[in-house]
């Protein structure tokens, strides 16, 4: 039986510039179908949660510029469940906005917070884990984070260092650690003490509200207002949300709080943050080349990723190793895979030198 106190917040307001030229400011990655399934990353995320959380209890927080795209992709969502941010202020203000909105509807709400651009391969295991976490959140005044059991020494994810075991499902959190270098990632992986930080959180609305008040008063002093749940909420948010600091939930709350627990999980999770993450998930030929929704021929080439937005266009690569070749609209990107962190700079330079139409 569905618990009417269970809610979901999907964070869907980012630009995803590391997936340029496919992900653009006008249509960022959460609205794209990277795998040719017919569903975008946002739609897949919504579908996943709609299996066990009432549709009217699922909220998407997105940038005001993207509200129409959310409505177009998810016509089954009530318009009142799309929360529009007037500007980007990172994950802490985003979560606070949703927290106060939901509290006005249901002061006993249990909330799972998730990004809109993650891939989950084992959905039944995912549903079981999140459902269990929501049950804990209802009973315990703790902030829960889902920690992914690592399968390799990954440098692209943040890590959670675990401490004492609370029960069969939960462990205390010792520290949150940023993305490590290769040597440190190897140490983390071999130690058995570290989990990947999934960026997914579960808590009761009372617990997270108290944590914000204790650790991030510069946000609560702006957003904690009885206007939420009234007809004046939208105007208040438009005027006051931009005053919030640009700060993540990890820095602002999770790293400071003493009541943080993690649930180690394994449900085939991947954070689709980079072209490299798509390469890892793609089907490789015998030379390690990956082609996404495209046609390609490879000669004396290995370890490349090819993705173009025209399925009839044929890409021919000769003598190339470990490159990203991506074409969308008016931009062709050819970039070394191990240099893909520079793509954000390429985007900025393209806009500066050639105009915003290339961003």
* Per-residue pLDDT tens over the stretch 77-87: 999 999 999 99
Name 87's Cβ contacts closer than 8 Å, sequence gap at least 6: 63, 241, 242
Distance between CA atoms of residues 21 and 359, nearest Å: 8
Distance between CA atoms of residues 205 and 224, nearest Å: 13
Evaluate whether 122 touches 148 at the Cβ level (below 8 Å).
no
Q: What is the mean pLDDT of residues 329-354?
A: 93
Cut 0.85: pTM above it: yes
What is the structure's pLDDT at 250? 93
User: At residue 1, does pLDDT exceed 70?
Assistant: no
Q: What is the mean pLDDT of residues 287-311?
A: 94
What is the structure's pLDDT at 233? 97
Q: Which two tokens stand for residue 251?
A: 């820095």
Half-sphere exposure of 18 (CA within 13 A, CB side): 17
What is the structure's pLDDT at 72? 97
Residue 193 has what DSSP assignment?
-
Distance between CA atoms of residues 342 and 303, nearest Å: 19
* Per-residue pLDDT tens over the stretch 242-257: 999 999 999 999 999 9
What is the structure's pLDDT at 170? 96
User: At residue 107, does pLDDT exceed 80?
Assistant: yes
Name 73's Cβ contacts closer than 8 Å, sequence gap at least 6: 31, 40, 42, 43
Evaluate whether 223 touches 178 at the Cβ level (below 8 Å).
no
Mean pLDDT of the chain: 94
Q: What is the dihedral of CA 43, 118, 203, 86, to 10 degrees?
A: -60
Q: What is the mean pLDDT of residues 168-191?
A: 92
* Per-residue pLDDT tens over the stretch 11-39: 998 888 888 999 888 889 999 988 778 99
């Amino acid at each position: 039986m569905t618990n009417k106190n269970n809610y979901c917040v999907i964070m869907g307001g980012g630009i995803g510039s590391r997936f340029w030229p496919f992900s653009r400011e006008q249509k960022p990655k959460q609205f794209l179908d990277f795998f040719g399934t017919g569903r975008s990353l946002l739609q897949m995320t919504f579908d996943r949660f709609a299996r066990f959380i009432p549709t009217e209890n699922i909220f998407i927080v997105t940038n005001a510029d993207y509200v129409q795209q959310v409505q177009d992709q998810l016509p089954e969502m009530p318009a009142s469940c799309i929360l529009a941010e007037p500007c980007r202020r990172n994950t802490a203000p985003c979560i606070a906005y949703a927290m106060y909105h939901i509290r006005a509807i249901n002061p006993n709400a249990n909330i799972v917070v998730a990004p809109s651009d993650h891939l989950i391969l084992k959905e039944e295991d995912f549903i079981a884990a999140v459902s269990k976490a929501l049950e804990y959140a209802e009973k315990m005044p703790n902030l829960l984070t889902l920690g992914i059991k690592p399968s390799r020494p990954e440098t692209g994810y943040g890590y959670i260092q675990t401490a004492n075991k609370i029960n069969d499902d939960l462990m205390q959190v010792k520290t949150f650690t940023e993305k490590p270098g290769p040597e440190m990632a190897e140490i983390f992986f071999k130690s058995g003490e570290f989990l990947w930080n999934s960026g997914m959180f579960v808590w009761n609305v009372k617990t997270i509200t108290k944590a914000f008040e204790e650790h991030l008063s510069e946000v609560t002093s702006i957003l904690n207002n009885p206007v939420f749940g009234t007809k004046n909420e939208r105007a208040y948010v438009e005027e006051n949300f931009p005053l919030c600091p640009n700060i993540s939930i990890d820095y602002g709350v999770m790293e400071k709080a003493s009541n943080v627990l993690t649930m180690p999980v394994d449900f085939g999770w991947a954070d689709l943050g980079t072209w490299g993450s798509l390469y890892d998930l793609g089907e490789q030929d015998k030379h390690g080349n990956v082609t996404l929704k495209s046609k390609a021929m490879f000669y004396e080439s290995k370890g490349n990723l090819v993705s173009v937005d025209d399925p009839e266009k044929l890409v021919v690569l000769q003598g190339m190793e470990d490159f990203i070749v991506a074409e969308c609209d008016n931009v062709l990107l050819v970039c070394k895979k191990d240099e893909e962190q520079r793509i954000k700079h390429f985007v900025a330079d393209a806009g500066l030198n050639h105009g915003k139409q290339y961003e």
